[in-house]
Every structure is written in structure tokens, then in C-alpha cells.
Structure 1
Amino acid sequence: MNTLTLSVIVLIVYMGAMMGIGYMGRNTSKNFEEFVTAAKKGSFLMVCGSYMGSHIGNGVVVGGAENGANYGLAGVWYGVGACLSYLVFALVIAKKLYRTDSLTLSECLDKRYGGHITGTIFAVINCGAAISIMAGQITAGKNLFSYLGLNPILGVCLVGLAVFIYAAMSGQWGVMMTDVIQVAVIVACTLISIAYMLGNGAFDVIHAALPAGSWNLFNMDFEVIIMNAIPTMLFGLISAASFQRNVSAKDEKTAVRSAFWGGVLLLPYVFLPVLIGMYGRALFPDAAAGSIIFKVMLEVFPPFVGALMIAALMAAIMSTVDSQLIYVTASITKDIYLQFINKNPDEKKLNRLAKIITITAGLITLYVALGTTSIIKMLSYAYTFMCAGTLVMFVGGIFWKGATKPGAVAASVTGIFFVFLNKFCGISFPYASIFPILPSAVAFVVVSLCTQPKKAEAAK
């Protein structure tokens, strides 16, 4: 049996097992609230593993190997930013969010500022960013099919179809449970792969084939380092995926500890896929960086290890996209439909609507994914967009009592305006991936100070 046939068999069996787990999760998604919070049954192991699984599949492993092939060891910065995002979330905001007793981040904003305008702005921006994140994830499926010589459009559609079925069936519980399994399988396969590399003189091969600068952590333009690490880290404060895991925890202590340890445990791991990417570039100097992980796994490592790793990566991508789809569904349903269209629907109609939204958002994601080439760039663009439009409005509102609704709206509009100037008008800013946060913060403070309620009114 050749490696390709073995890979296909393992992938089918593995995906079938994941679907089985999703089917088991039906009992934890009997209504809309349970669907998006896993009925608040998340244990430390489940939630912590799910945090790790949120990044480990595509961004850290496939994207990390891609960056390793392109930049050498400096390709680790995206993974470092991903780990720091969990630490920042745990230390700064996890406890406060858990205590809000909200289903979405938009609901948190509505409670803070009053009315629905801030929550609606957040929901719209987040849905756009989530589609970009999901498209970046699904790109791995396209790259795998391209490497195998198959139609990449077929790869996108098959991965997307599995995601839609799984998300509609199992909800947040299924996402977290499969995340734990994915993390265990991927880490085990990675460690076996690294051991195999060491046994075959991988470091000598890398030293001989790649320039000495490949071992330099700063072997890329500093602005590219910033783009990879800082928006990714700051996104942790406004991450829908982190929020859903937070509110799915069984208690407050679990909500905080699981995010913290998820970041700590993932940090040393993020270097390993980068090393695999460097090894792949040394062995296959002309290979496409986006598919380097698949080429190494299928052509260099023991067949079963490579096949299992690829199956786990595809499943991890599936559960990561699922978590984004679930939040988009929750956000559109809770923050738009229930607020502006139908405030008192019956539960059956609400569940049916949730599934329609899930499929629609998924189809839009497939369309975007078909035009995507770089995984890390798609993720970084999404994080930049979210941070510019929502970071100051959300975090500032939580920690500054003087923040006002007009200030929050001004912060969001200003941040998005500067992203628009950079992306579509060709106006350059220093460190463009994070620069829009500065004028957003200025607008937030100035407008909030100008719209403070008068003392006489505040005293009433």
C-alpha cells in the first residue's frame, strides 16, 4: 500500500470518528444557548485542550511550517503571538467576561454602553473577520489537494462540507471535545517526526542547505514580525473563539486557568513545526511553502505517522472553523436577528435559523477560500481588521468607567477608516498592522471626554 492510499484511508477513518463524536454531542445542544456554550459543561482538560486546538491545527502547524520554509526560525513569531494571546486573555479579561453571563461579545458591549449600536458594530466586524479566519483555515485543505495533484476546488468543498455538517450537529461541545483529541494526536505525531528528523541528521542537512541567517529569530523585516505577532496577541482580548471557550467552562476558575495553561503549554510546541518547515525547504528547495508540511509528511516521515498527522491536521482545521462558524451563528442570531427582526421566536424556529446561518456563512467562506493563497496572511489580516475596529471600543469600555457610547462608535469608525486608507488607498503607515489602534484610541478618549454626562444629570 503506497503512502497516498494509506493517507486517504486514515483520513476517512479519522474523519468518521470525529463525526461520531459530533453525533454524541447532540445531547449538549438541545437549545440555542446550549449549542453555543456546550451547556457549560467544559472541564479544565476540555477547555484547555480546546484553546490549544484553536491555533494548533492550521495557523501554528501548517502556517508555522510555511513560515519556517520562507523565513527559517523567524517563522515562529505567529505561533508566539498565538500563545501570548491566551496569556493576555487569561490575565487581563477572562474573569470579567465570565462574570458578564453573556452569550456573545456583542452582548457584553450592549450591557456596557446601553442600546444595541456598539454590539451590532462588533457583530458585523467580527463576522467579516471570522470569514477571513475560516478561509485561511480551509486553505490548508486546498493546499493538500493541490499537492496531491487533485482539484483544489474539490478540496475546499469537501473540507467545507464536513465543517457544515459537524457544526450544525454538535455545537460547541463537539468542537471542544474533538479539539482535545486533535491536540493529542498532532503533538504525538510532531514529536515522533522530530525524533525521526534527529535520527536522520536533520540539523546537519538544514545547516548545509540553508543560509546561516535561517537560525536567526529576527531573520525577517521587523514590521513583518510585528504583523505576525502583535495583532495575533491583541486579538486574544476580543477573540470570539476564546470567549466561547470561556463561557463554556463549568466555573470561573476553570475559565481563567484553562486559557492561561493553554498558552503556556503551547509555547514550546510552536517551534517544532517551524523546524519541520526548515527541514522541508532544505530537502525540497523548489517546493511550494504552503504545502511543505504535506510534502515532508508524505515523502520523508514513516507513512503511518505522516498519514495520521495529516488526518489530525484536517480534523483540527475542521474544529477550528466550526468554532468560528458557531460564533458567527450566535452573533447574527443573538445580536442582529433577536434584536432587530424577531425578539420572541419559538425555540424550534431559532434552531432552524441557526443552521441556515451556519450554512450561509460557510458558503461565503468557501468562496473567499478559493482565492486565498497564504494562510498566515489571511489570519493576520483578520486580526488587524478586528483590532482596528473593536479592540479599543471593547477593552476600553471594560476598564474605563468614563467611556461613552459615542466614544466607542468613534473608536471603531476611526480604526476601520485607517485600515481602509492603508489597504485600499495606498496610504502607508508605520507598522500598518497595528497603527490603526492608535488613532482609534485617540478618538475614543477625545469623544468620550466630550460626551461625558453632565454632573447634574449623572447625579440624578
Structure 2
Amino acid sequence: MNILDTAVLILYFGVLIVVGVIGINKAKSEKDFLLAGSRLGYFSHVGCLAAVIIGGAATMGSTTLGYDFGISGFWFVTMMGLGIAALGLFIVNKISGYDVFTISQLLGKRFGEGTSLISAIVTAIYTLMIVVTQVIGMGSVIHVLLGWSVIPSMLIGGGIVLFYTILGGMWSITLTDIIQFAVMTIGVFFIMFPYSVSSVGGLTTLFNSVPENHLSLTNIGWERIFQYFLLYFFGLIVSQDIWQRVFTAKNQKVMKSSAVSAGIYSVFYALALSIVGMCALVVLPDLSESQSAFTSLALEILPPGMLGLVLASVCSALMSNASGALFASATLITNDIIKVYFKKDMKDKEVISTSRIVTLGLGVLSIIFSVWIQNILVALDMAYAILSGAIFVPLVLGLFWKRVTSTAAFSAIIASSIVILITFIIYGVTSTLPIIYGIITGVIFIVGVTLVNTNKHKKIDSDVEFSSSKRA
């Protein structure tokens, strides 16, 4: 990178820090700090949802899959888009009537404190792992582009996110997300995509230059498509960082329409980056690692200034995802654990200060884990497997089947989590089997325990009726 591109990237980081400071003045109450006052209209809400869905793993991962598998690489982010659209179409009307900030709060209202606590712990672990993936991604990008070593790069990228998240909470995150959405959109759709297609002589030339199987929508394989469905479709529906963004909308109509719109945006984003990956295959057929397809192609084809903006768009995707997940994890711990079990009478200012302390602690922890793991795909698969396998079934069945009992939901989350962790050890973190076994375990426990409890109550009721009639 030349001096102009480096200046663009550093200027962008500076803008995010300034916006984070501005967010302090807007976060006056607990609702302001946790949900940006629930005042967002359609356009700003779409931007925030799209920004939190599409992280750096989605941006660079889709390009990598396009390089390796062609157009079918779009399934990765498309499943995320379908998940957020399903949340808007089928779940929003079920949850918007509850006065809650988190998934575990909703489960607590439905099934009791025990279920709320265990779901808060499981979901907080998931969101923290999402932060880890994004910090690893930021470290990798800064390392490749600026030539700094990986660990300082992670510290700088993670530190900027931590700084503006602590300052203004959801208001700072929302303001930065709107900027990041604009930068992502311009960088990918209006710069990277057209420059990539132009570099290979147009779409027709591209399609004639890549292997024939790269034009098949199923080249990536049905097994992997199914894996993405299990991980990301289910995962997005019950993702705390997504839910918290959904609740920032000013009404249910905005929640629904913006969720569907963000889902559609994600599909187009996935298609554009899959084609960029195919262009990288034509321009740079001998890459030693396809994971560098996006950055390598950008360095090859983009003029000075444009390169800095496109790379800022990658950092945008990473930072928006990281800040949302970090704040979601802090909200779960503050709102559903500390406020419930340790400091029940916290005022708004105490909630905000406690949340900032928790955010700081989690941010430092996530950076430590990032330095330790240094593998973005391993961390991402583990995060979504735990969420999809352990939380999806109790939440969705609890919303749509009124007979589900508190004991059933609690035991299902515990049993599914144990099964997932055990099968991770047996089959590895890249296998789909832990998710499948987790979901099956959840269904068995939910249905089985609910039916046993129902039959037990019926027997008790019938015994009481029999005793009453006998006395009579």
C-alpha cells in the first residue's frame, strides 16, 4: 500500500473514534445505552442490520469460496440473509410484544430464571466467540496491508472497537454502523465488483475463462450447503447481537421490513463477492492461499485511493460485527446475570457504568483469545454450532408451542450443550454432526419432558378429582 491508501485507512479509523465520542452524549438512559433508544427508522435500521450480519469472515470468506468453488460460494452469506429475513417474517411479531432486551430475558419470561441464566451463559459465549473471529480478521487484514506483525495488528483493531463500544454503547455502535454500511456498500458494489469484472474483460469473458463447474450453483456441494443452513440460517434467527439490533427499531413494521431488506442485501452482497472471487481466480490463478483472494486482487487491480477505501470496507465489516457481538455479550452478562442475581436495584447510570466495565473485561478477554486461537473459521464454526444446536429449538418451540414447560426448556439447553461439546471432541469443530445431534437432543428433551410433565399434571388432577368425588 502507498501513503495515500494508508492515510485513507488511518483517517477512517479516526472517524470511528470521533463518532464513538459523539455517542457518549446520546446515551443518557439504560434504553439509550442498550438499544439506542429504540428510535431507528427504516433506512438507518437496514444499514445497522446489514452491517452486523456481514462481518469480515463473510466478506473475505465469500471471495475465498468464489475463488475455490465459483458462483456457489454465495450460499455462505445467503444463508445468513435468509435467516435474518425469516426472523423478520416469522419471529418479530412473536417477540415484539415482550419488554425485553435479550433472548435469555425472553426465555426467562417464558420458562423461568433457570432457563434465563443458562441461555444467557451459552449465548454470551457465542457472542464472545464472534468477537474473537472479527479481531482475528482485523489483525490479518492490518498485518497484510500495513506490514505490521499479527499480534499488534489485533491489539490495534480490537482496541479501536473496544474504545467506541465502551463510550456510547449502542448509540456509538449505531452511528458507526451507518458509516460502515455506507463504506461497505461503496467499497464492494461500486469499486471492487466493477474493477474486478473489468480486469477480466467483462462477465462474458469471465464465465468463459473459469472452469465449467464454477458456474454451477451446487458446485460447493449439498453437504456444505446444508452445513451453512444449520449454522447460519438457524444461528441468525436466535443470535443475540441480531436481536439487540432488531429492538433498536422504532416499531414492529420497521423491524419486519428492514430485516427482510437486510436479508435481500446480503444475497446480492454474497453474489457480488463470489464473482469477485472468480475474477481473482482468472487474474491470480496461482495464489498459494485462496483466503488471500480478496486482498491480493485488490492490491493487484485497484488504483491508489480506491484501494484504501475498499480495504476500509473490509475493516468496516469486521468492526461492525465485532462491536455488535461484544456489546451483546456485555448486555447479556450485565442485564441477565449481574442485574438479576447480584445488583437487583441498579439505576440507569449504574447499568451503564456496569455495562462499560463488563464490555472492557470481555473486550480484553476476546483479544487474548484471538491471539491464542488465530483461526477465524474455527472460532466462527464453534460459535454458530453452539448457538444453533443449543438455543434454536427451545426458543422457537417455546414461541410456537405453548405447552412447552420450564423444566423441558432448561434441560434441553443443558443436554444439547453437553452433546455439542462432546461431539466437537469426537468429530472435530468443522463437522455438521455436533449441530445435528444438538438439535435432535433439544427436540427429544423438549417434547419428552413436556409430555411427561403434562401427563404427570393430568394424573395429579385426576387423582384430586377422584378424591373429591369419593369424599362427596
Same fold (TM over 0.5): yes
Q: How far is 1:371 from its partner?
A: 4.0
Q: Tell me how far 1:369 sits from its aligned partner.
A: 1.8
Q: Kindly name which structure, 1 or 2, has the bigger radius of gyration based on alpha carbons.
A: 2
- Give the letter for the 1:245 counterpart: R
Cα distance change on mapping 1:311 and 1:430 into 2, 3 Å: closer
Mapped pair 1:244 → 2:244 = yes
**Residue 354 of structure 2 corresponds to residue 353 of structure 1:** yes
Deviations 1:244-289 (A, max 9, x none): 1221111121112111111123322211112222222333322433
Summarize deviations over 1:184-238 as a string: whole Å, max 9, x none.
2222222332222333335577567753322222223432222223320111221
Cα RMSD after superposing both structures? 2.5
Give the aligned partner of residue 198 of structure 2: 199
Is contact 1:110-1:118 (8 Å) kept?
A: yes
Q: 1:167 to 1:379 in 2, by over 3 A?
A: same
2:324 maps to: 323
Q: What is the alpha-carbon distance in structure 2 between the residues aligned to residue 377 and residue 88 of structure 1?
A: 26
Q: Deviations over 1:148-177 (max 9, x none)?
A: 332011111001100111101121122223
1 CA distance for matches of 2:210 and 2:288?
Answer: 14
Q: Is the 8 A contact 1:232 1:380 kept in 2?
A: no
Worse-matched range after superposition: 449-458 or 159-168: 449-458
Aligned residue number for residue 436 of structure 2: 434
On the 8 A contact 1:50/1:245 being kept in 2, the answer is yes
C-alpha contact (below 8 Å) 1:81/1:229 kept by paired residues: yes
Query: What residue identity is the alignment partner of 1:261?
Result: S
**3-state SS in 1 of match to 2:391:** helix
Deviation at 1:61, TM superposition (A): 1.4
Tell me what 2:282 maps to.
282
DSSP 3-state at the match of 1:343:
coil
Match of 1:297 in 2: 298
Structure-to-structure mapping, 1:136-175, within 5 angstroms: 136-148=133-145, 149-175=147-173
Show structure 2 runs of 5+ residues with no match.
466-472
1:41 pairs with one of 24, 39, 42 = 39
Match of 2:116 in 1: 119
Change (3 A) 1:264 1:210: closer
CA 1:287 to 1:426, structure 2 compared with 1: closer, same or farther past 3 Å? closer
Secondary structure at 1:37 match in 2:
helix
Give me the TM-score of the superposition, normalised by structure 1.
0.92
Q: Is the 8 A contact 1:338 1:344 kept in 2?
A: yes
Give the aligned residue type for 1:312.
S
Q: 1:426 to 1:120 in 2, by over 3 A?
A: same
Deviation at 1:402, TM superposition (A): 0.5
1:425 is paired with a residue of what secondary structure? helix
Q: Who is 1:128 aligned against?
A: 125
Shift, 1:390, TM fit: 0.9
Q: Give, in angstroms, the shift of residue 33 of structure 1.
A: 2.7
Pick closer, same or farther for the CA change 1:205–1:155 going to 2, 3 Å.
farther
Structure 1: tracts of 5 or more residues without a match: none
CA change 1:370–1:223 in 2 (3 A) is: farther
Corresponding residue for 2:399?
398
State the shift of 1:240 in Å: 0.9
Output the CA distance in 2 between the equivalents of 1:234 and 1:406: 23
Structure 2 CA distance for partners of 1:319 and 1:330, relative to 1, 3 Å: same
Give, in angstroms, the shift of residue 81 of structure 1.
0.6
What secondary structure, in the 3-state scheme, does the structure 1 residue paired with 2:250 have? coil
Secondary structure class of the residue paired with 2:397: helix
How do 1:350-429 residues align onto structure 2 when only pairs under 5 Å count?
A: 350-426=351-427
Quote the offset at 1:410 in angstroms: 2.0
**CA deviation digits over 1:366-392, x for unaligned, max 9?**
122224455344323311111111111
The equivalent residue for 2:469 is: none
Alpha carbons 2:393, 2:442 under 8 Å: kept? yes
Structure 1 residue 88: deviation in Å? 0.8
CA displacement at 1:123 relative to structure 2: 0.8
> Which of these residues, 88, 91, 113, is aligned with residue 90 of structure 1?
88
Shift, 1:439, TM fit: 2.2
Contact 1:46 1:177 in 2 (8 A): no
Q: Match of 1:380, as an amino acid?
A: D
Cα shift readout 1:279-335 (whole Å, capped 9, x = no counterpart): 223333224333321222122122222210111321332222111111111110111
Matched, 1:99 2:59: no
Match of 2:468 in 1: none
Q: Is the 8 A contact 1:223 1:431 kept in 2?
A: no
Post-superposition CA distance 1:32-78 (Å, at most 9, x none): 33211101111111111111111234133122112223332222111
Q: Please tell me whether the aligned partners of residues 63 and 375 of structure 1 are also in contact (alpha carbons under 8 angstroms).
A: no
Matched, 1:25 2:23: yes
Q: Name which of 14, 17, 25 aligns with 1:16.
A: 14
| Separation (CA, whole Å) in 2 of partners of 1:282 and 1:297 | 14
* SS, match of residue 302 in structure 1: coil
- 351-360 or 194-203: bigger deviation: 194-203
Most deviating of 406-415 and 141-150? 141-150
Q: What's the counterpart of residue 450 of structure 2? A: 448
CA contact (8 A) 2:183 2:316 kept: no
1:77-120 Cα distance to aligned partner (Å, 9 max, x none): 11111100111101111122221011211111111112x11111
